[in-house]
Amino acid sequence: MAVTRDWDGGSYDRISAPMLAMGLDVLDRLHLRGDEVVLDAGCGSGRVAEALLHRLPRGRVIAVDGSASMIDAARARLGMHSNLELVHADLMHLDLGGVECDAVLSTATFHWVPDHVGMLGCLRGAMRTGAQLAAQCGGFGNIDAVHRAAAVVALRTPFAHSFAGWVGPWNFRRPEDMADDLRAAGFDDVRCRLVPRPVVPDDPVEWFRTIVLGSHIERLPDDLRDPFVRAVVDLMPAPVTVDYVRLDIDAVAAAT
Ligand SMILES: C[S@@+](CC[C@H](N)C(=O)[O-])C[C@H]1O[C@@H](n2cnc3c(N)ncnc32)[C@H](O)[C@@H]1O
């Protein structure tokens, strides 16, 4: 599987309350009767999927993630449910065996995927015509301050040679560019907009290690990972604020 990075699902589950709060706002945009089949694309440790399950007493959740650690954490959180299917899969190669979902929810995930048209095309292939997509991911300008601090530290010895030539892991898009990709992938009624959502984490070192800088530290030997994260945190003004700018996405699967 070619997902961009690995995750620590246990740590993510423990610290991700601010991501859950953002995710619940996206969930509120889904129009649900309670009997639909809904795909959670990039479900992580399943905290948003758990809330989605409560909205679907007669429906079903298909929760997909590319990280084995996240799927394990989701299984630990959600247990066995007759109306839940946890799927370990890359969204770029999603195959639900002909299931046509009534809606797709995705939170904090699309910016980890390099090819949006390809991924959105796979999601469209798993949706019935008229199905709703409600999503949110990092958008243009997302975590600029963190990115700048990480770039400064990445130029320092002994980290520099691990980052030579690396362009970074994120795909933060402008609304108009994401809207073009959605139309190209078979969606209409497309609306995309940027929303600032700054977060002050309780434990900035764990937040950066687990969520923001996971791809960075994967490039480093074990003994340099914590020093890198701490150096980035130390460069940020107190209280450390993660300057999230989210891209809210609403669209409908168009007739093919
Ligand atoms: C920040 S977490 C978000 C989890 C959850 N949706 C939330 O809002 O808390 C991003 C998730 O996207 C998943 N992800 C990233 N790229 C993926 C891909 N190509 N296929 C499947 N999952 C992917 C990661 O494994 C990770 O669990």
pLDDT interval class at 76 (50, 70, 90): very high
Which tokens belong to 25?
């706002």
**Overall fold of domain 9-141+171-200+242-253:** Rossmann fold (3.40.50)
Cβ atoms of residues 111 and 228 within 8 Å: no
pLDDT interval class at 80 (50, 70, 90): confident
The average pLDDT across 117-138 equals 98
Residues forming beta bridges with residue 251, ordered by sequence position = 133
Query: What backbone torsions phi and psi does residue 113 show, to the nearest 5 degrees?
Result: -110, 120
Distance 111 CA to ligand 1 centre (A): 9
Which tokens belong to 125?
């292939």
pLDDT interval class at 26 (50, 70, 90): very high
Distance CA 232, CA 243 (A): 14
Mean pLDDT check: name the lowest of 3-17, 146-160, 201-215. 3-17
Among 112, 115, 211, 218, which is best to mutate for testing ligand 1, by the most ligand atoms less than 8 A from CB? 112
Least Cα distance to 33 among 95, 102, 80 occurs for 102
pLDDT of 243 reads 97
pLDDT of 2 reads 60
Q: Is the pLDDT of residue 4 over 80?
A: no
Distance 112 CA to ligand 1 centre (A): 7
Helices (H), the chain: 9-15, 17-27, 47-54, 68-78, 116-125, 144-154, 160-163, 175-184, 204-207, 214-218, 222-235
Distance CA 251, CA 134 (A): 7
Distance 246 CA to ligand 1 centre (A): 15
Residue type, 7: W
**Given the CA of residue 211, which atom of ligand 1 is nearest to it?**
1
Q: What percent of the chain has pLDDT over 90?
A: 94
Query: What backbone torsions phi and psi does residue 52 show, to the nearest 5 degrees?
Result: -60, -40
pLDDT digits (tens, 9 = 90+) for 85-118: 999 999 999 999 999 999 999 999 999 999 999 9
pLDDT digits (tens, 9 = 90+) for 167-222: 888 899 999 999 999 999 999 999 999 999 999 999 999 999 999 999 999 999 99
3-state helix, strand, coil in the chain (%, to 5): 40, 25, 35
Among 3, 4, 53, 109, which is best to mutate for testing ligand 1, by the most ligand atoms less than 8 A from CB? 109
Provide the pairing of β-strand 245-253 with 127-138: antiparallel
Distance 160 CA to ligand 1 centre (A): 28
Residue 22 burial (C-beta neighbours within 10 Å; 0-12, 13-18, 19+): buried
Give the DSSP per-residue string, 33-51: -S--EEEEET-TTSHHHHH
92 within ligand 1 shell (Cβ under 6 A): yes
7 within ligand 1 shell (Cβ under 6 A): yes
39 within ligand 1 shell (Cβ under 6 A): no
CA-only gyration radius of the chain, Å: 18
pLDDT of 5 reads 79
